[in-house]
Amino acid sequence: MTKQHKKLGTKIIILIGIFLILQTSYWFSITLKSPNSFSNKYLESFFNSTKSLELIQEQINLGPRIPGSNAIERTRHFIVNELQDWNIVFQNFSKGWGLQKDVPIVNLICQPPSFQQSEQIFLIMAHYDTRLWADNDPNYLKRKEPVLGANDGASGVAVSIELAKVLFKYHNLTNFYLVFFDAEDQGGINGWNWILGSRYFSSSDILTDINPSFAILLDMVGAKDASFFKEINSLNYAEDLVEFIWDTAHTIGYNNYFINKSGRSITDDHIPLLEKGIPAIDIIDDFDIRFTPWHTSFDNITFIDIQTLQAVGTTLENALVLLNNEHKNLIFLSSFHYSPSFEFFWVLSPGIFLKFYRCTRSKKNMKKSLGFYP
């Protein structure tokens, strides 16, 4: 070995050394930020799953809640009736649909009585429309029939209403809104896209005025033996919030519902909020793998289980009360506008590359709309 070779060898060893130190620091820094260090404790729960089940049944009794239908108009009355004394704003717009001109699309933005402006305002969200076509039905002849939406529609609304009442009545929380979206579930029918209601809401001044710190979306939260995996877009852009909710569920003992694994990439009503930089997560059953009644004529009350409703309701009741009391200063970050140029380690750290790759890959998915539509 020549002298020059020796010099080169030393240089390579030094570079590898620097690289390893940077790598260790990087992983150490993200370990420090890990939300697993939250110490959650179990509170007494007031969430009533029997009441939620009744709220699902009441929506089903109205029939399929298709945008522009009498049934969806009656669903709005049902929500207003459930939330008496709440301040409810109807956010209207309209869109042609097939031969129908100007089908009204209405989001409901509900503020609890004695609402208090605070530094931390959060949203609990669900869609209340049901799909016009049961195009996933095993029976070909039923694929143009409407979906009743016990799980896909009614369950999210029912759990949101019961949860909101409990937060307000028993825990004195007034720093949140309930938001019910219209026209989530009509993608690919008569030229409509998915998540129309939440897209409109997210680009409106109402969202700018509310300026929420974070948002939680409930979709398909009532099926027996539901599996809530960590949805990929939520995980990529609002990881801290996902981990906090799942940690809370595990503390309470609902680890059989809130599975400690990442699920799939799903294009749901949380996406437009994520695009605005608001940490927003989707709590959604892994419908395609397990929930066979999804977008079929079988999505009826027989598939709803009060234990699932209780698991979701109690978990969120605990998590949201903890966030407003013990973890008041916790700030959730959305990494949608993540800018790696500010990271000193970026140049040499494959860890950062991985994170960056995950974000850009997921952004591409969003743009191409490759996520599954619920």
The residue (of 351 and 374) whose beta carbon lies closer to Zn ion is 374
Q: Which are the contacts of 70, defined by CB distance < 8 A and separation ≥ 6? A: none
Rounded to a whole number of angstroms, the minimum distance from the CB of residue 374 to Zn ion is 5
- Using the 8-state DSSP alphabet, how is residue 8 labeled? H
The residue (of 221 and 322) whose beta carbon lies closer to Zn ion is 221
Q: Which residues of 154-179 are buried (b: 16+ CB within 10 A; e: fewer)?
A: bbbbbbbbbbbbbbbeeeebbbbbbb
The residue (of 67 and 212) whose beta carbon lies closer to Zn ion is 67
Q: How would you classify the pairing of strands 122-127 and 176-181?
A: parallel
The residue (of 185 and 239) whose beta carbon lies closer to Zn ion is 185
The residue (of 293 and 374) whose beta carbon lies closer to Zn ion is 374
* CA gap 162, 80 in Å, rounded: 13
The residue (of 95 and 131) whose beta carbon lies closer to Zn ion is 131
Rounded to a whole number of angstroms, the minimum distance from the CB of residue 137 to Zn ion is 13
Rounded to a whole number of angstroms, the minimum distance from the CB of residue 235 to Zn ion is 21
Rounded to a whole number of angstroms, the minimum distance from the CB of residue 295 to Zn ion is 6
Rounded to a whole number of angstroms, the minimum distance from the CB of residue 158 to Zn ion is 16
Rounded to a whole number of angstroms, the minimum distance from the CB of residue 185 to Zn ion is 4
Rounded to a whole number of angstroms, the minimum distance from the CB of residue 127 to Zn ion is 8
Question: Which of 108, 101, 147 minimizes the C-alpha distance to 127?
Answer: 108
Distances, alpha carbon 22 to alpha carbons 16, 116, 241, 338, 344, in Å: 10, 45, 27, 20, 10
Q: Which are the contacts of 373, defined by CB distance < 8 A and separation ≥ 6? A: 187, 194, 266, 267, 268
* CA gap 16, 181 in Å, rounded: 53
The residue (of 271 and 321) whose beta carbon lies closer to Zn ion is 271
The residue (of 190 and 208) whose beta carbon lies closer to Zn ion is 190
Q: How many CB atoms lie within 10 A of CB 98?
A: 11
Residues near Zn ion, by CB under 5 A: 152, 185, 374
Rounded to a whole number of angstroms, the minimum distance from the CB of residue 372 to Zn ion is 10
Contact 91, 109 (CB under 8 A): yes
Question: Which of 82, 184, 147, 110 minimizes the C-alpha distance to 297?
Answer: 147
* CA gap 304, 179 in Å, rounded: 23
